[in-house]
């Protein structure tokens, strides 16, 4: 059974990994993926609202996203939100739906995206190691306050290191998988 003293740190590491995965979903890999719109907000009656909540997002073709707003008056605000975002795609509309055509990625762009994925992976590993450091500091303080024996402290630090290694390995695997996905033509 998991040690309750390690649980909070494991939860933080899980959140770090989940955050990395959600960042990876928003990186486009040459084909249409509705998750590239996740961070884009549309001004909906004065409230910044995710695109998925103001219309139907579909993938009719491998390199096309289609957004059908439930309220036709939102076509211009959705287009404006996409243009001001950093996804780098110009929307086109026919008065009822907005289409986003994803261009084929150039080799150079793929390499840039792969570098970005690596950078995000490194940042996540640093965050994991910072959590480990905080946990070790907590265990040392508990030892000083006589809440932990030295043997218990060593045991917790060993378990924590194993947990850290597992998350670092998972991050490396996720980075490799995303890089392969991006580099695949």
Euclidean distance between CA atoms 74 and 40, whole angstroms? 14
Euclidean distance between CA atoms 75 and 65, whole angstroms? 14
- Of 62, 137, 143, nearest to 103 by C-alpha is 62
Euclidean distance between CA atoms 27 and 182, whole angstroms? 9
* 183 or 152, which is more confident: 152
Give the burial string for 151-170 (b: 16+ CB within 10 Å, else e).
Answer: eebeebeebbeebbeebbeb
Euclidean distance between CA atoms 57 and 47, whole angstroms? 20
Q: pLDDT for 11-44, tens place per residue? A: 999 999 999 988 887 776 666 777 778 788 888 8
Query: What is the signed CA dihedral for 21, 175, 113, 83, rounded to 10 degrees?
Result: 0
- Of 102, 99, 97, 94, nearest to 32 by C-alpha is 102
Domains and CATH numbers, the chain: 9-26+106-183 (1.10.132.20), 34-101 (3.30.1360.40)
Percent of the chain with pLDDT over 90: 33
Enter the pTM of the model: 0.71
User: H/E element holding 123?
Assistant: helix 107-144
Q: pLDDT for 115-153, tens place per residue? A: 989 999 999 999 999 999 999 999 999 989 888 888 999
Place of tokens 């590491």: 13
Dihedral class, residue 127 (left if φ above 0, else alpha if ψ from -120 to 50, else beta): alpha
Round to the nearest angstrom and report the end-to-end CA distance of the chain. Answer: 45
Instruction: Write the DSSP symbol of residue 96.
Output: S
Report whether pLDDT(1) > 60. no
Report whether pLDDT(176) > 50. yes
91 confidence band (pLDDT: 50, 70, 90): confident
Q: What is the pLDDT of residue 168?
A: 94
Report, as an integer, the average pLDDT of 150-163.
92
Q: pLDDT for 61-88, tens place per residue? A: 878 888 898 888 888 888 888 888 777 7
Q: What is the pLDDT of residue 29?
A: 66
Q: What is the pLDDT of residue 118?
A: 94
Euclidean distance between CA atoms 119 and 116, whole angstroms? 5
């Amino acid at each position: 059974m998991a040690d309750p003293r390690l649980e909070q740190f494991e939860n933080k590491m899980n959140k770090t990994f989940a955050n990395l995965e959600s960042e990876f979903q928003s990186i486009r890999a040459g084909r249409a993926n509705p998750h590239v719109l996740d961070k884009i907000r549309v001004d909906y009656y004065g409230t910044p609202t995710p695109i998925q909540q103001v219309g139907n997002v579909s993938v009719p073709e491998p390199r096309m996203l289609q957004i059908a707003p439930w309220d036709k008056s939102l076509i211009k605000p959705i287009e404006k939100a996409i243009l001001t975002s950093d996804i780098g795609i110009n929307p086109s509309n026919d008065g009822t739906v907005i289409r986003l055509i994803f261009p084929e990625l150039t080799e150079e762009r793929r390499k840039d995206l792969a570098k970005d994925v690596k950078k995000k992976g490194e940042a996540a590993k640093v965050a994991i190691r910072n959590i480990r450091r905080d946990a070790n500091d907590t265990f040392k303080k508990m030892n000083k306050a006589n809440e932990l024996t030295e043997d218990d402290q060593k045991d917790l630090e060993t378990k924590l290191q194993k947990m850290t290694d597992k998350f670092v390995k998972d991050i490396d695997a996720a980075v490799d998988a995303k890089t392969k996905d991006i580099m695949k033509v």
